[in-house]
Amino acid sequence: MIKMVRVDHRLLHGQVAFSWTSTLSADCILIADDDTAKNDLKKSAMKLAKPNGVKLVIKTVDKAIESLNEGVTDKYNLFIVVANIESAAKLISGYPEIKQLNLGGTLPSKDKVNISKVISITENERVLLNKMINQGVDINIQMVPSDMKVNVKTLI
């Protein structure tokens, strides 16, 4: 069962690894990120950051979609983390059963506009977010479980 899908450019770090994992009662974290899946150093760093007793799986976005569709993740309380909005859109397009998306952090850049203090988006990302919202995906911003959710629909 998918407990949460989160966009966080930092992928796995203290806030994600401990706050969200325990709040969600997740027993498996799936990092769906093409770059990390192909980078042994990044994979090693992610393994060091995972909480004890929680399984960590690192796959490309395509392989993550394949695993979800094959049902191999069904036995877990799954917490999925992707690095960016494009990866989230691809994941949701490939596995439309995902109906909620949490935005936890995106990298700022010159071509992005802030929609919150931790979320900056390009025009293309705005289009992707609107497309997902129109497909029935509830998208919110919530850094930590104790923060109030902010509906992205009201910000874009």
Q: Compute CA distances 51 → 42, 48, 57, 84, 98, whole Å.
A: 16, 8, 13, 23, 24
Indicate the pTM of the whole model. Answer: 0.95
Alpha-carbon gap, residue 21 to 65, rounded angstroms = 21
**What residues does 30 pair with on adjacent strands?**
57, 80
Helices (H) and strands (E) in the chain, counts: 7, 9
The per-residue pLDDT for range 82-119, each reduced to its tens digit, is: 999 999 999 999 999 999 999 998 988 999 999 998 89
Top-tier CATH class for 2-154: alpha beta
Query: Is residue 15's pLDDT more than 80?
Result: no
**Summary mean pLDDT of the chain:** 94
